């Protein structure tokens, strides 16, 4: 069947079905309609539609037009905060993007940027409208241009609750956060049919670009939920942590969790054996207000943890190693994940708290050949460039270049702390001794005994935070139980921090 015949069949099906039938078909797919999604997201009776009468012809040979084309755009409120929103309508020609739809979405993005308000895009579209030809591509381009222009100026949140195909899939990926729903989300540049024709690979829509594929494998998705209702509830939760735009600070909230609270479990949470894992998330929830932590990309690069929380009612971004996964080493995926999150927090005035337990960057030919140097440099660049308050707490160890990368004083970190018993060094004692004293150990009558002696001496002199503290690289060695109160006081100290970067058009981050 030719493309023209397929288009004509789709058009005939669309015109033969009533609106009620198209809505029923949408529900049968387990999906809400564009209007239902807006109602679920916004406060009641706050939605103001923009561009209601904008429409386009369904193809270039017909006079048939569709009211509002295949997208609903407007403004409203979420928990009393003004936002702009667009919701693609799959019941109208599969939500495909026409020239008009691109202009409508572009217009609402322009308004959001001009008004300094967050934009939430709800994606449910088959991509560019083929029957419009290059005019449809211009519509996609209008959206992508504005996504790039809005980046770092206003928060952009993408909710992908249907297909987002072809070049249009780049729009959600240009946003700050991508929300997905199991068995509904589909994102790919080329669909299964094209993949089969080009590579002879047989793959389903969900295997190729479903929510779980992008949450676990590609890292495109930041959040994954079982249904749309929970997804939209979590969009509202995310919004509560972030400001209206780059000139505002995040909203502060009243909390009933004492800033002076100490947590006794923190004194024993790190095992005595430095090789034993523990769950860093337990430290995070023990420190932040009421244990409320919204993790970002929880299914991707689990060896590093990123997310949003509050300390004394004020939003903070948390970046932390996860010793229970890959010993907390920083690999390519962890570098990319953390660096993008750090840059988001910096763009929107969210202070950064880094909890450090890192043995180093991941070694091996696979990592080296795939660019761990280039990707690891992203994390260094992100921290060095960030001008928000930056706090670091070393909970167990910080070795080598990874110590530098994780918000150290050397990258303009503001305040750095180390837990009692933690270690800061170029590398672990055993590895250091084997390099420095290799010849002495080999020539010793008892190499094993000599090695143990030298390791003990190295640990006494170097494998602890004392040297870093004496040199001013660590501001204090603290009791783990007092971490929360110390961080809150530090953030208060840095409340009015203002730092200017060298004048330039923009830096050249190693992408």
- Whether 158 sits among the annotated catalytic residues: the reply is no
Beta strand extents in 235-351 (DSSP E only):
294-296, 304-311, 314-321
Does 13 have pLDDT greater than 90? no
* pLDDT at 452 (0 to 100): 86
- Whether 127 sits among the annotated catalytic residues: the reply is no
> 78-82, 115-119, 158-162, 442-446: lowest mean pLDDT where?
442-446
Dump pLDDT digits (tens) for 283-312: 999 999 999 999 999 999 999 999 999 999
- Say which of 116, 141, 152, 167 is annotated catalytic: 167
- Say which of 402, 405, 425, 490 is annotated catalytic: 402
Backbone phi, psi, residue 90, to 5°: -70, -20
- Mean pLDDT (the chain) is 91
| Whole-prediction pTM | 0.91
pLDDT band, very low/low/confident/very high, at 496 (cuts 50, 70, 90): very high
> 177-186, 229-238, 308-317, 416-425: lowest mean pLDDT where?
416-425
- Whether 166 sits among the annotated catalytic residues: the reply is yes
Residue entry with tokens 């961080």: 487
Dump pLDDT digits (tens) for 92-101: 999 999 999 9
Task: Tell me whether residue 144 is exposed, middle or buried, using C-beta atoms within 10 angstroms of its C-beta: 0 to 12, 13 to 18, 19 or more.
Answer: middle
Distance CA 339, CA 302 (A): 14
Q: What is the mean pLDDT of residues 153-166?
A: 96
- Whether 162 sits among the annotated catalytic residues: the reply is no
Dump pLDDT digits (tens) for 86-141: 999 999 999 999 999 999 999 999 999 999 999 999 999 999 999 999 999 999 99
* pLDDT at 7 (0 to 100): 41
Dump pLDDT digits (tens) for 427-451: 888 888 888 888 888 888 888 888 8
pLDDT band, very low/low/confident/very high, at 3 (cuts 50, 70, 90): very low
CB 220 within 8 A of CB 173: yes
* pLDDT at 392 (0 to 100): 98
């Amino acid at each position: 069947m030719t493309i023209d015949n397929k288009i004509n069949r789709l058009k005939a099906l669309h015109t033969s079905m009533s609106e009620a039938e198209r809505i029923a078909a949408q529900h049968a797919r387990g999906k809400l309609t564009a209007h239902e999604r807006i109602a679920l997201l916004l406060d009641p009776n706050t939605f103001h539609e923009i561009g209601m009468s904008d429409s386009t012809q369904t193809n270039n040979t017909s006079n048939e037009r569709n009211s509002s084309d295949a997208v609903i755009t407007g403004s409203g409120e979420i928990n009393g905060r003004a936002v702009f929103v667009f919701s693609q309508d799959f019941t109208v020609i599969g939500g495909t993007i026409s020239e008009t739809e691109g202009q409508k979405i572009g217009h609402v993005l322009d308004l959001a940027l001009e008004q300094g308000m967050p934009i939430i895009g709800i994606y449910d579209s088959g991509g560019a409208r083929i029957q419009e030809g290059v005019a449809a591509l211009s519509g996609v381009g209008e959206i992508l241009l504005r996504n790039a222009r809005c980046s770092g100026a206003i928060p952009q949140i993408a909710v992908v609750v249907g297909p987002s195909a072809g070049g249009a899939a780049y729009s959600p990926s240009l946003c700050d956060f991508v929300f997905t729903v199991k068995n509904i989300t589909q994102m790919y540049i080329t669909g299964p049919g094209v993949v089969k024709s080009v590579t002879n690979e047989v793959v389903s829509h969900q295997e190729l670009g479903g929510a779980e594929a992008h949450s676990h494998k590609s890292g495109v998705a930041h959040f994954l939920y079982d249904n749309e209702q929970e997804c939209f509830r979590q969009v509202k939760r995310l919004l509560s942590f972030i400001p209206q735009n780059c000139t505002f600070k995040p909203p502060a909230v009243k909390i009933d969790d004492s800033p002076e609270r100490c947590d006794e479990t923190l004194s024993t949470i790190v095992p005595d054996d430095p090789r034993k894992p523990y769950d860093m998330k337990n430290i995070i929830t023990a420190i932040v207000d009421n244990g409320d932590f919204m993790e970002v990309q929880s299914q991707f690069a689990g060896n590093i943890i990123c997310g949003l929380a509050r300390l004394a009612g004020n939003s903070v971004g948390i970046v932390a190693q996860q010793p229970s996964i890959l010993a907390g080493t920083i690999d390519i995926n962890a570098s990319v994940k953390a660096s993008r999150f750090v840059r988001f927090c910096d763009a929107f005035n969210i202070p950064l708290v880094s909890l450090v337990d890192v043995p180093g960057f991941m070694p091996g030919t696979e990592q080296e050949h795939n660019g761990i140097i280039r990707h690891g440099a992203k994390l260094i660049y992100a921290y060095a460039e960030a001008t928000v308050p930056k706090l670091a707490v070393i909970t167990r160890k910080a070795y080598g270049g990874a110590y530098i990368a994780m918000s150290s004083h050397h990258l303009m970190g503001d305040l750095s702390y180390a837990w009692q018993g933690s270690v800061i060094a170029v590398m672990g004692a055993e590895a250091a001794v084997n390099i420095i004293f290799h010849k002495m150990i080999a020539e010793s009558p008892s190499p094993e005994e000599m090695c143990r002696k030298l390791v003990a001496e190295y640990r006494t002199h170097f494998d602890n935070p004392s040297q870093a503290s004496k040199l001013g690289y660590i501001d204090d060695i603290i009791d783990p139980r007092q971490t929360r109160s110390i961080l809150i006081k530090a953030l208060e100290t840095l409340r009015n921090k203002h730092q200017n970067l060298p004048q330039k058009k923009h830096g050249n981050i190693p992408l």
